[in-house]
Amino acid sequence: MNSAVYEDKPYYDVWMKSLMALPVLLVVVGAGYMVGKDIEGAITLLAVAVLVAATYWAVFPRKYSIHSTGMKIILGGPFSFNVPFERVESAIKPEGATIGINFPGSFSSAHAVQIVRMGKMSVNITPQNPEAFMEQFNRTMGNWRASGDRAR
């Protein structure tokens, strides 16, 4: 993808942040097991903490980036998820529960944006400024469609 037209960071609410603290809790409990001389239990909890932390690092979004040909969700390290405009209908404010590919940042739908795709599952994200994100996404996609140059 080419250079970004618009970027936004994900919105993480207090509930999601507390869920992200789970690896820290596991390390503390594992340290308690060490003090209690349960070395096997401590090593198990520490290994689980590392596995959970690595999973969180790989799947939680760092940034949402709109480009002239689509959107990119930047995850941890080399990981990202591309949403090209070819299969996208629009970006909307979801109503109620949604089914699709979720990149959660909040347990509330107040910051949610749903990227509706034709023939594929919708992509649900939580940018910090959802109204501006939807406006820019739909405008950039409209420009892409109007240009007729879809090979870029």
The domain that contains 3 carries what CATH number?
Answer: 2.30.29.30
| 27-71 per-position pLDDT tens digit | 888 888 778 878 888 888 889 889 999 998 998 999 999 999 999
pTM score, whole prediction: 0.83
Q: How far apart are CA 121 and CA 29, in angstroms?
A: 39
Note the pLDDT tens digit of each residue in 122-133: 999 999 999 999
Contact (CB, 8 A) for 83 and 71:
yes
Averaged confidence pLDDT in the chain = 89
> How far apart, in Å, do the first and last CA atoms of the chain sit?
9
Please state the domain count of the chain: 1
- 98 burial via Cβ count (<10 Å: 0-12, 13-18, 19+): middle
Q: Which domain holds residue 48?
A: 1-152
Q: Going along 19-120, which residue ranges are E strands?
A: 63-67, 70-74, 80-84, 88-92, 100-102, 113-117
Compute the average pLDDT of residues 136-144: 94
**Predicted local confidence at residue 148, as pLDDT:** 75
